Structure 1
């Protein structure tokens, strides 16, 4: 590690910087929602484009189908994510209520659960008992510890509305990119498709690269992996449209 990176790390781990970082909400809390929305949006619209091209439909049909699919699927996905996060938050609240009840009815049993949880983390003897006493002296800390440690549930950052908006906006913005060439009437259908293909490939690759920067994954590997996933979905849609046109006469 070079001196510059070491100095930066030391700066980040000063007591006041640590306190500020722990108090601040996570900047990447809704990034998974945005990544999921972006990938699914691009796959969905480009699958429509490739399917229409494979079936021999006109550019106008591909554009109309793509826009309709973009709006409907984006809304559906946002609502689904809202409901999922809302259900998760309700589940966490239910677990909290149950833990409050358990503390009221069997406090020594709940205290023993705290003891065994931290015993498995390596605490023992007097240190273990001080940890148990400290946690159990504050009822809210006690409950939150049980929720996260015993049940393995996330207790912060559950915002259904923000998750839904992150998913919807990423879906719409990224998903609209493969449709842009079809709004250019001066391009012939083949060039529209090839341009859309290039744009979609770029979107997949950029999403993969962005994901790698946040989650500290290999940059090129992550970009190519996401590109291959999107390419596989697009290829499946193309051959489905092509086979439908060949077997059933579906087309213009």
Structure 2
């Protein structure tokens, strides 16, 4: 840790700064949606390109199939992410409603749950009772504690539309890159494929590095891991198409 980082941390942990930060509702991050969409978009289109080359199809076929899969798979993935986030949102809301009903019907039982939760954390005696009284004095605070401590759920409720939009945008923007050599160049097919492979590999590595910045992991290791994953998927597509072409004796 350098002096600048330490000074920033000291500033962020002053009482007023802490008070303001904790007063804000927790923000739900969409990093995972962007990373997942970007990696899957690049893998999808480059796998299609690799499969087309392995099958001996002309460049026009690679472009057509690439764009068809880019939009279809991007839409499908966005919808799937939307439904997943929506289900999570509805689950959290259902648990909150259930706990609110329990508080209304059996408040003493719910207070005892709070008491047991904080007793397990080391609170005891008058201090424990004061904690229980403070938490249960406000129903929203009471529900927040029950969600986190009893059910292991976050107060940060997912936003399905935002998750879907981030996934779709990342899928399209990154997935388009392996197709660029087939759109804007007049290179021969082998050269187009080589350029596409370089661009796809670069994107895999960059996405892996960006992911590592968000989760504080080693840059190079994360980049190489993502590069290997994308490269393996493309290799599977290429060799599958190549062997099927040979098996069925299909001419390019």
TM normalised by structure 1 equals 0.94
Q: Are the equivalent residues in 1 in contact too, given 2:26–2:155 (CA < 8 A)? A: no
5 Å-filtered alignment, 1:95-244, equals 95-244=95-244
Please report how far the alpha carbon of residue 97 of structure 1 lies from its aligned counterpart in structure 2 after TM superposition. 1.1
Could you report, residue by residue, the CA deviation over 1:50-76 in whole angstroms, capped at 9, with x for unpaired residues?
011111111110010000000000001
Q: In the alignment, which residue of structure 2 is the partner of 1:79?
A: 79
Looking at structure 1, the residues matched to 123 and 197 of structure 2 have their Cα atoms a distance apart, in angstroms, of 56
Q: Are the equivalent residues in 2 in contact too, given 1:35–1:211 (CA < 8 A)? A: yes
Q: Are the equivalent residues in 2 in contact too, given 1:42–1:174 (CA < 8 A)? A: yes
Looking at structure 2, the residues matched to 27 and 169 of structure 1 have their Cα atoms a distance apart, in angstroms, of 20
Count of aligned pairs: 252
Provide structure 1 residue ranges, at least 5 long, that are not aligned to the other structure: none
Q: Are the equivalent residues in 1 in contact too, given 2:92–2:157 (CA < 8 A)? A: no
Please report how far the alpha carbon of residue 6 of structure 1 lies from its aligned counterpart in structure 2 after TM superposition. 1.6
Please report how far the alpha carbon of residue 16 of structure 1 lies from its aligned counterpart in structure 2 after TM superposition. 2.8
Could you report, residue by residue, the CA deviation over 1:23-62 in whole angstroms, capped at 9, with x for unpaired residues?
4566661111111100111111111010111111111100
Cα RMSD between the aligned structures?
1.6
Looking at structure 1, the residues matched to 25 and 176 of structure 2 have their Cα atoms a distance apart, in angstroms, of 30
Looking at structure 2, the residues matched to 250 and 155 of structure 1 have their Cα atoms a distance apart, in angstroms, of 57
Please report how far the alpha carbon of residue 154 of structure 1 lies from its aligned counterpart in structure 2 after TM superposition. 2.4
Q: Single out whichever of 6-15 and 157-166 deviates more from structure 2.
A: 6-15
5 Å-filtered alignment, 1:42-57, equals 42-57=42-57
Q: Are the equivalent residues in 1 in contact too, given 2:92–2:153 (CA < 8 A)? A: yes
Looking at structure 1, the residues matched to 38 and 172 of structure 2 have their Cα atoms a distance apart, in angstroms, of 8
> Per the alignment, do residues 188 and 83 of structure 1 end up closer, same or farther by CA in structure 2, a change over 3 Å counting?
same
